[in-house]
Structure 1
Amino acid sequence: MSGYQVEIISPTDKDALFDDLLAKVRYERKANIHGACVKLLTDNSDFKEEWEDNFKFMNEDIRPHAKIFSVVDGGKLRVMYEPLSKTCIIKNCDYYGWIKSIALAAISDFFEEYHSVHRRYSVHGSTVDYNGHAIAIIGPPGTGKSTLTYGLLENEDFNYISDDWFFTRLFKNAAVVYSSEKNSYIRDDIINVWKSFSEELKKVKLDTRGRGLADVNTLFEGRTRESSTLQTVVLLERDIEHPPFVKLDVDDAMDFMIEKDFCNPHQLVRNIRKFDLRKEFFRELFSNLDVYLLNTIETPNESLDRIKNLATR
């Protein structure tokens, strides 16, 4: 679970809230997320600064494809979404991680509406590049996605693309993955496993959840990539009753993704149509790639070695 529930509201409901929202807004910033424009409107200076560090800049002349309001009114946490205009209204949120994930989810919803034209989809997962080919790591929260991603990036042969969310474009002969964020919203406990990042992470300004924006070019010494051709997908689980590592056929991989709700707790719209779109995308993606299931019950280094062996085989 994401820690919040999404309320779907109508355009009329949104319009009724609009004047009060605008009266609270102190900062407006636009971001370029995979070529789409997302506008943040907030009363929180920390969110504004984190947004600027997190995402690429979008020219102010570009009209937004999605809007994210984040304001405080003294009440409880609420997340409301109006799908027609791609407007999300977040009230009384103290965690930037949800702000950025909801922004990515709103643009994902936008791309899904044009899937037949652009064939661009989003995935809640991480990707690294090795010799011009990408490995994607996808799993439910808590299965070790970030830990394994940063473990791979200790090796200078691997390049950073994304550690939380990436976009995919399906071509006739390939699937190409793209980064979603300018910098990484990293957890401070990564250094408990991978010591090589300790000095750089000491420079990161952490929020109340122990997370902060790290400059990936500095952190990985220039080993970053905007895109790569996807070759391998590693799905993650943590279950002591299952084997540590198996190769999956398409049907087994789809069963896993459906059971785990596509490994994405930040889906703004959940209905039969959206479910079918997501299912169709992953089936096509998995049909043209090698897919493995890694059970992270072993030590991080043992799990890491399994992924490295896939890259170097």
Structure 2
Amino acid sequence: PSTKALFLNNPCNPTGAAYTKDELMELAKIAVDEGIVVIADEIYEKLVYDGFSFTSFASLGKKIKEKTIVINGVSKAYSMTGWRIGYAAGPKDVIKGMSKVQSHSTSNAASISQMAALEALTGPQHEIRRMNTEFQIRRNYMIDRLRNMPGVSCYEPRGAFYLFPNVKSYFNKEHEGTQIRNSYGMAYYLLKQAHVAVVPGEAFGAEGFIRLSYATSMENIVKSMDRISKALAKLEPTRETKMVSLNNSITKVKEFVETEVHVGPELRDALVAEAENHLAKNKEYYEWNANILGVIIQLRTNLPHLVDFWTENWYPGQLETDLEPHGVIYAVGWIAGREARAYYSSETKTAVFFKSAYYAQLRSLALGMADDITSRLSGTYSVRGLGLDFGGDGVMLIAPKGTGKATFFANLLRHPKSKLVTDDIVFVRLNSKEAIADAPERKLYMQTNFVEKYPDLAALFDKSKCENVITSRDQCTNGPCQRLDNCRLDRGAPFCYEASKTSRAMLDPYWIDGTAKHTKRTSLKHIFLLKNDPISPVVTKPKVEEAVRFCEEGMSVSGPMRSEPFFNPHLLATGSDRTDSRRRFYEKLFSIAKPYFINLGAGDKDEIQKQINKVIGI
């Protein structure tokens, strides 16, 4: 009932399959009966073989014509790829609406291109027939060669100029250390070994296949078939294949949705009633208490992924009928008409989180709620930063995004005397002499791209529960890596930890090296505040008020200038009175744990690292 349109590519890229008139009539009947608009991509309509008769979808009758939008162009049949001319034909109201959008999106095509396209469409067509004959000769030659390669099968296309052979029989084979695990790996292998460029089938949602094009000269086709045949013949069964089966959950929402933090009693009651009503009707319901440094936060949800990560992330709290939690989070999946959004009521310590299974935001709500509670009850505040311990002396790195703090954190973590405390946040309580920092989490919800700085973690992530780890090349968002000629996914790796900034692993920090490399508590002695300016030396000792102002302003150093107070995105209680109390806390914190400005613009990374190490005394 929610389907509005069907996209029909005929003849098809990448297989070359084409629909007969009878097959199209069956589709047309369904489209008319269901009221579905058909977007018919007929760009390859003139490139058909073996006497096949192409039928345009809009020609099947008046009713289907009224529901069809034909899209076409001159790039394929007329070899005019650089002229950038395409067109659409359909009902007047639809085309009128499309024209409005197009006129505000792009400028018009060049007049020369338009006149050339008009001549191509209305002029003599004998060159197309000659080209089709040549394409058919090339197609037949390639099919014959492919079908004679052991383990390769190939559908015989009716149109377009592609072949889509099945090469899955060569998966889990290798040559000189290069293992073929999937179609990306096969494409990479053929490019490097045979110097033939193909497109992996995974790019089309068809793992096990590769796409070849015969829109090139017969001379090149003969060479490519010879090279592919030789390259495949070199592949041998992998002697010892160890495939890692990653426990990886992919969420539809992969970023924070808007959170409304000033929710009054009436709205809070309405939201809770809506959440509870929906959860009561759902067969899947989960309830679990987390103990966050003595604060009991209860999760109520119908989303299995969230409760799975929740129970991994936190220490368990008692779950008893007569035990009232300090705070409650409702995380509710699909509700018709409801937008993805989060709400928080500080007065009742209640959060409601709609239509997102992205664990990062649920965790953030829990940390913000715990901070709201502990800061009021015991004067314990959350401090966002990277934390380490050196023989009982705690070190924090606090900085905005984009400063490169992960590099210095990784270097410090490699030091034999260091212990990991946190990769994100601690809760700090103060007395007259000490700033005691506690890690609130049982397992760390760690960005997997940290393996760029600390490769040893990759093997640990392999056995951790993961979220949104990239598994195909087209999902990769790591621009610098894409520009290199060494992509793991191109080489056939089943996943890549470095391909996205939003992929995470739920890592048990004791897996790194037991108690020798992790501690839950430290006494803060040094707090490094990373900034970037062209004037200051590498290390300066600011006055307490300077350090507090730097943290409170929380100004970004990359992208649009914006403020994130105390560099802490988890804060939910943000009123002026709470900001004042947090400011006073930081004033006392910096009088106990000495702050240092580290100017990243004053030297190279090695020199900056030496200065940091010197302050710590390592």
Same fold (TM over 0.5): yes
Which residue of 489, 507, 513 corresponds with 1:214? 507
The whole-number CA distance in structure 1 between the counterparts of 2:592 and 2:273 is: 49
CA distance in 2, matches of 1:32, 1:22: 23
- State the Cα RMSD in Å: 2.3
In the other structure, the counterpart of 1:9 is 263
Query: What CA distance in whole angstroms lies between the structure 1 residues aligned with 2:266 and 2:535?
Result: 50
Q: Deviations over 1:114-149 (max 9, x none)?
A: 2xxx23121122221111111112222333444543
Q: Across the two proteins, how many residue pairs are aligned to each other?
A: 310
Quick check: 1:141 aligned with 2:141?
no
1:276 to 548, 569, 580: 580
Greater relative contact order (Cα < 8 A, sep 6+)? 1
Runs (5+) with no aligned partner, structure 2: 1-254, 280-284, 469-501, 555-564
Q: Provide the rounded CA distance (Å) in 2 between the counterparts of 1:312 and 1:112.
A: 32
2:412 to 152, 162, 168: 152
Alignment match, 2:299: 40
The counterpart of 1:264, out of the listed 548, 565, 568, is: 568
Task: Give the match for residue 310 of structure 1.
Answer: 615
Deviation at 1:238, TM superposition (A): 4.3
SS at match of 1:85: coil
Kindly, what percent of the aligned residue pairs are identical?
A: 26
Match of 2:370 among 93, 107, 125: 107
Q: After the TM superposition, which of the residue ranges 154-163 and 32-41 deviates more from structure 2?
A: 154-163
Do the aligned residues in 2 keep the contact of 1:24 with 1:43 (CA within 8 Å)? no
1:9 shift after superposition: 1.2
Aligned to 2:390: 130
Whole-Å Cα distance in 1 between the matches of residues 593 and 449 of structure 2?
32
Distance 2:575 2:374 in 1: 16
* Largest Rg, 1 or 2: 2
Q: Is the 8 A contact 1:183 1:216 kept in 2?
A: yes
Q: Which amino acid in structure 2 is aligned with residue 86 of structure 1? A: K
State the Cα distance separating 1:300 from its structure 2 match.
5.7
Structure 1, residues 177-225: CA drift from partner, whole Å, max 9, x if none? 1111111111111111222323222333321231120111002433221
1:105 offset after TM fit, Å?
0.6
- Structure 1 residue matching 2:566: 3-state secondary structure: helix
Change (3 A) 1:210 1:179: same
Aligned twin of 2:520: 226
Between the aligned partners of 1:121 and 1:308, the Cα distance in structure 2 is: 27
Which one-letter code corresponds to 2:389 in the other structure? D
Q: CA distance change for structure 1 residues 147 and 67 in 2, over 3 Å: closer, same or farther?
A: farther
5+ residue gaps, structure 1: none
Q: Say if 2:328 and 2:349, in contact at 8 Å, map to a contact too.
A: yes
TM-score, length of structure 2 as denominator length: 0.47
CA contact (8 A) 2:257 2:341 kept: no
Pair 1:93-2:350 in alignment: no
Q: 1:162, CA displacement in angstroms?
A: 1.6
Q: Is the 8 A contact 1:146 1:164 kept in 2?
A: no
Shift in CA distance, 303/87, structure 1 to aligned 2, threshold 3 Å: farther
- C-alpha spacing 1:257/1:20, structure 2 compared with 1 (3 Å): same
**1: CA distance, partners of 2:532 / 2:391:** 29
Task: For residue 269 of structure 1, give the secondary structure of its aligned residue in structure 2.
Answer: coil
Shift of 1:52: 1.0
Q: Is the 8 A contact 1:76 1:92 kept in 2?
A: yes
Partner of 2:465, secondary structure, is coil
Counterpart for residue 327 of structure 2: 66
Alignment partner of 1:195: what SS? coil
Letter in 2 for 1:312: G
Cα distance, 1:256 vs structure 2: 0.5
Q: Is the 8 A contact 2:410 2:453 kept in 1?
A: no
Contact 1:82 1:88 in 2 (8 A): yes
Is this contact kept in 1: 2:261–2:573, CA < 8 A?
Answer: no
Distance across 1 between alignment mates of 2:541 and 2:370 = 32
C-alpha displacement of 1:20: 2.4
* Residues 1:7 and 1:176: Cα distance change in structure 2 (over 3 Å): closer
| 8 Å contact from structure 1 (residues 183, 213) kept in 2 | yes
Partner residue in 2 for 1:81? 344
C-alpha distance in 1, partners of 2:577/2:256? 22
1:70/1:303 Cα in 2 relative to 1: closer, same or farther (>3 Å)?
A: farther
Q: Closer, same or farther in 2 for the Cα pair 1:248/1:108, shift >3 Å?
A: same
**Cα distance, 1:257 vs. partner?**
1.2
Query: What does the per-residue CA deviation read over 1:252-296, in whole Å, with 9 as the maximum and x for residues that have no partner?
Result: 102201211111122212221011001100011112221112234
Work out which of the residue numbers 315, 320, 335 in structure 2 matches 1:56: 315
One-letter code aligned to 1:175: A
69-78 or 51-60: which moved more? Answer: 69-78
